[in-house]
Structure 1
Amino acid sequence: MVAGEGTEHTGNNLEDQGWGATRAWVEKGLTEAERIENVSRLRGGWTSEMRRLDICGPGGRRSLVLRSFVKPFYVRHAEGLLTREAAILRLLGSTDVPAARLVAVDPTAQYCDHPSLLMSLLPGTVRLGDEGADRRAELLARQLLRIHRLPVTAEARPRTYQAWTSPERVNPPEDTERPELWQRAVDVIRREPPDYRACFLHRDFHPGNVLFTGDGDGLRISGVVDWVETSWGPADLDVAHCSTALALLHGVSTGMQFADLYVAAGGTLAEDHASHLYWRLLDALAFAPDAEKVAVPWREVGRANLTPTLLTRRLEGYLQALFARYA
């Protein structure tokens, strides 16, 4: 999911879009004198619909973010997703990770029109342009390491990670000129997962889920969003996911450098190249054939050049680069 970048004004009514029950639920949690002044759609989401709610009252103005699952597939899984995100936001509230503050959650749509979660609005914007990508990648690596180092009790641990593809589910491009490359990559993930030292994973950490403020020497990460997939597993998998996204956004070399930035920041990855390659390919192959699932929200926030053809070419180049370094 991409959040915090680009809005579409929709007025101050949710009722005319079939959101009357959700509005009533939100208003029930406001102070007596507060009201919803404005509603704006946040562009760039894939799994859920995101809205910014501007609240006004005697104490001044504040803004909240409403996440609602509308697509049938995600509605079916909403209870687990939103319950997990609510628990993680509560956990992160006592850490230095810049995450939103949980306000309320209705994971089964008992009160809302759709399963929903209400949280505070974080400052900053998503930045996906090529300019400044190297500097942002350094900050991403440091932030990811801080997430991985969070101390979590056994009782508070999230679920064990889930793989997002398998050898049988990989969908190579139909018109690829490199079928042997895809077959080689698929063969790598046919093995049992390597042994790993587990840690706290964001699990969907990539530039579209990170907010920035400032520029130049003042550039800072101001927020990390979308904690519905938070898991317990190998640091290599989180690094792999961000690496793939960077390769697709900015080119193969940027994606290949991210693991080095993570290690330079103090992170530890699998010493065995074969094990690290497994995690990198397990993630990359889930984007096949053309990364359209992430490309749609990325294009919505300004990266119109990320065509299916370009993304497929970058994905194939990234697979080749992974073999060249780690095989």
Structure 2
Amino acid sequence: MTDHDGAGAVRPRTLAWVGRHLEPGERIVGTEALHGGITAEMRRLTVAAPDGGVRHLVLRTFVDPSFADHAEEMLNREAAALALLAGTGVTAPGPVAVDPSAAWCEYPSLLMTHLVGRTALENTGLEARVPLLARQLTAIHAVRPAERPQEYKAWATADDIVPPPGADTAVWAAAIDVIRKPAPPYEGRFLHRDFHPGNVLFDIPPRRPASARITGVVDWVQTSWGPADLDVAHCSTNLALLHGPQWGLRFAEGYEEAGGVLAPATSERLYWRLLDALAFAGGVRWVARPWREAGRAELTTRVVEDRLNAYVTSLMGALD
């Protein structure tokens, strides 16, 4: 079996488990690490059929002990979300098998189908991709599940926030005070909850970046029920850190242009935008690392911290 990831092939028990979920005569002939994730190992498995055909599957494995307590919940949530999305207009991987408690595998694992396409984190072609991201998110929010997923969880509280080095302390203190207030009322929507360019796959013609199209959305472990503003806020923060604060501000406009509905009051929109943005303060180095691995070498921790500070300052100025 060819191993392209340099970190060892799929572990023996997991390999046997995957094999039980293949078609008769199929076998795994290669594995390749997929980069960009933070919480789990991701591998693309190349599967050969007796007739010479080849297909791919994706294996998510929670190895890091710090996520062990939540792996079962997250994998069950993702498997349920993928099954739900199969009957909608949102393209996502299909669930093949799940071992959330590591009954069969060395670690909690999810096996799913593979989607074609690639993530697009480069600056080139961004102006064409942002409206596509906005339209895709409106489609996700239009999903009406028969059973609601878990209520959203905030990823930080006001007392958790430590401003990054060089931050304007007065601006950050005012921003933190905004999220000390009770959450505004909202009309619930089906949320991806981790929607950003790193979880969206594109087909981009090399010579025609403006002709990009989305081929699917991945990483549904955080699926939740909550305000559309929160998904918009998360993608906005990521765009601000990847490409500059102006793109974080632009995304909400694109979402409304695509037919999405945000909170009616400016103060409510500000709350959700800051609730997401401020949560990045303690984890910039974890966010920046996979971006650098994906080719954005200039996005050092310091650069991303500076962009986060500039984005929070922009929010307080533009939406105050």
TM-score by length of 2: 0.95
Q: What letter is aligned with 1:196?
A: Y
Offset at 1:326? 1.2
User: Which one of 193, 198, 213 corresponds to residue 203 of structure 1?
Assistant: 193
User: Which one of 143, 158, 175 corresponds to residue 167 of structure 1?
Assistant: 158
> Does 1:39 pair with 2:31?
yes
1:157 alignment counterpart:
148
Q: Which whole-Å CA distance do the structure 2 matches of 1:146 and 1:210 have between them?
A: 13
CA contact (8 A) 1:210 1:225 kept: yes
Offset at 1:183? 0.8
User: Which one of 9, 30, 33 corresponds to residue 14 of structure 1?
Assistant: 9
Q: Which whole-Å CA distance do the structure 2 matches of 1:302 and 1:73 have between them?
A: 27
Q: Which whole-Å CA distance do the structure 1 matches of 2:283 and 2:98 have between them?
A: 34
Moved more, 57-66 or 269-278: 57-66
Structure 2 CA distance for partners of 1:130 and 1:22, relative to 1, 3 Å:
same
| Partner SS, residue 172 of structure 1 | coil
Offset at 1:117? 0.1
1:287 alignment counterpart:
280
Q: Which runs of 5+ in 1 are unaligned?
A: 1-7
Offset at 1:30? 1.4
For residues 287-322 of structure 1, give each alpha carbon's deviation from its aligned partner in whole angstroms, at most 9, with x where no partner exists: 005622211111111011111111111111111111
Q: Which whole-Å CA distance do the structure 2 matches of 1:184 and 1:42 have between them?
A: 40
2:76 alignment counterpart:
83
CA contact (8 A) 2:167 2:309 kept: no
Identity of counterpart residues, as a percentage? 51
| Partner SS, residue 168 of structure 1 | helix
Q: Which residues in structure 2 correspond to 1:44-55 (within 5 Å)?
A: 44-55=36-47
Q: What letter is aligned with 2:97?
A: A
2:223 alignment counterpart:
230
> Does 1:144 pair with 2:137?
yes
For residues 175-200 of structure 1, give each alpha carbon's deviation from its aligned partner in whole angstroms, at most 9, with x where no partner exists: 32511111111110000100001110
> Does 1:67 pair with 2:60?
yes
Structure 2 CA distance for partners of 1:12 and 1:167, relative to 1, 3 Å:
closer
CA contact (8 A) 2:171 2:316 kept: no
Q: Which whole-Å CA distance do the structure 2 matches of 1:290 and 1:57 have between them?
A: 43
Q: Which whole-Å CA distance do the structure 1 matches of 2:153 and 2:33 have between them?
A: 30
The root-mean-square deviation of aligned C-alpha atoms, in Å, is 1.5
> Does 1:102 pair with 2:92?
no
| Partner SS, residue 318 of structure 2 | helix
Moved more, 237-246 or 55-64: 55-64
Q: Which whole-Å CA distance do the structure 1 matches of 2:95 and 2:213 have between them?
A: 23
CA contact (8 A) 1:290 1:312 kept: no
> Does 1:221 pair with 2:218?
no
Q: Which whole-Å CA distance do the structure 2 matches of 1:301 and 1:176 have between them?
A: 27
TM-score by length of 1: 0.93
